[in-house]
Amino acid sequence: MGSLRIYLDTSVVGGCFDEEFAGDSKAFFNVVLEGRVTALISDTLVGELVKAPEAAQNLLQRVLNAGCERLALTQGAERLRDAYIAAAVVSARYADDALHVAHATLARADVIVSWNFKHLVNPSQVRAFSGVNIAQGYGAIVIMTPSDIVKMLEASDEEE
């Protein structure tokens, strides 16, 4: 099996600096920095972190330096974002959440990683995003938390 290609949304970076999510977020980034997975970083994520605290920007820079796939903002991603909004998967107020899913979909990410339970990490949202994807000719999506990714990799290590 090749390296999992994991799209990172902004909440994962922020999770490293949130008491509730810091431990699991840091464990996830250790996996990324060790090269056990391939991080997919979009221009959207980079843009959202421009005004973030220096520590968050430094973490992003470490991931960029460690090697990742960079995803440019494309018209295709914007069209898919707009399709999610038109289907009321999320409102226009949360267009960046939809854009993260669009980037991941177009890049054929294996999984999106997020701490955003309201708009991303919940079965209803995954079903709704996947429904639009299928209607648009793309595949279904998988969204997991950083802790779920780390647990999955640990279980895979035990099987080997």
CATH 3.30.70.270 describes domain 4-159 = no
What does the CA dihedral 147, 148, 150, 154 come to, rounded to 10 degrees? 130
List, for residues 19-50, the tens digit of each pLDDT value: 999 999 999 999 999 999 999 999 999 999 99
Distance of CA 35 to the CA centre of its chain: 17
Kindly give, in sequence order, each residue whose CB lies less than 8 Å from that of residue 67, ignoring residues fewer than 6 positions away. Answer: 35, 38
- The predicted pLDDT at position 67 comes to 86
**Whole-Å CA distances, 87 to 60, 109, 118:** 32, 22, 17
- Secondary structure (3-state) at 28: helix
Q: What is the pTM of this model?
A: 0.94
List, for residues 102-147, the tens digit of each pLDDT value: 999 999 999 999 999 999 999 999 999 999 999 999 999 999 999 9
- The band of 1, judged by pLDDT with boundaries at 50, 70 and 90, is very low
Contact indicator for 6, 149 with CB cutoff of 8 Å: yes
Q: What residue type is 16 in one-letter code?
A: C
- The band of 160, judged by pLDDT with boundaries at 50, 70 and 90, is low
